Amino acid sequence: MNEITTKEGVSMEPMTLDPHYDDDCIFCKILKGDIPSYTVYEDNIVKAFLDISQGTPGHTLVIPKTHVQDIFAYDTDLAAAVFARIPKIARAVKAADPTIIGMNIVNNNGKVAYQSVFHSHFHLVPRYSDDDDFKMIFKDNSGNYTPAKYAAIQAQIKAQLED
Ligand code: 5GP
Ligand code: ZN
């Protein structure tokens, strides 16, 4: 087989999934068709459907078609396949309503980070104005950081990537 791989070893061949499901997972139930969803897109890798909460109109979830708990559990090929599909779905959500002027794409990992469904998913949250129903706060703590403190954190993270 004439498989193409990039420098980083990501396969460029169309991926096939051997899905596995968690019986207690609500998104696996949606994948199996046990629970209905307002699906806007699906293929062999992902399913995209309206989030029941509709944080803003058009709020869509993109999930892998296999049970993956969170971002830490992806292998590189699945990540490449899932992430590759997000821009096209995001463009469709945006194009569906001319009043959408931006979009937050959010992926929560862990309860502390607001993950409530432990099947990895990406929120596509269309934005309509400064005061639509969605808020994110990025606090600027840079006043508390010295160059040495930044460098120490940098070294700790880099050491984990270099193992
Ligand atoms: P999280 O808080 O884990 O980042 O996001 C989980 C999302 O799943 C929430 O925004 C919630 O509204 C949505 N959700 C939970 N149960 C269902 C369901 O049965 N159907 C749909 N379409 N969305 C759901
Ligand atoms: Zn699941």
Q: What is the pTM of this model?
A: 0.93
Atom of ligand 1 lying closest to residue 114 CA: 2
Say whether pLDDT at 11 is over 90: no
User: Taking a C-beta distance cutoff of 8 angstroms, is the pair 118, 70 a contact?
Assistant: yes
- Two tokens, residue 32: 């199996």
Listed residues: CB within 5 A of ion ligand 2: 22, 25, 27-28, 67, 119
- What pLDDT is attached to residue 2? 37
> Would you state the pLDDT for residue 113?
98
- Distance of CA 118 to CAs 16, 57, 87, 106, 113, Å? 23, 23, 23, 14, 12
Question: Which domains does the chain carry?
Answer: 4-138 (3.30.428.10)
Instruction: Considering the candidates 59, 67, 119, 121, report the single residue annotated as catalytic.
Output: 121
Angle at 117 between CA 105 and CA 27, to 5 degrees: 95
Q: What is the mean pLDDT of residues 42-47?
A: 97
Nearest atom (ligand 1) to Cα of 106: 4
| Active-site residue flag, 121 | yes
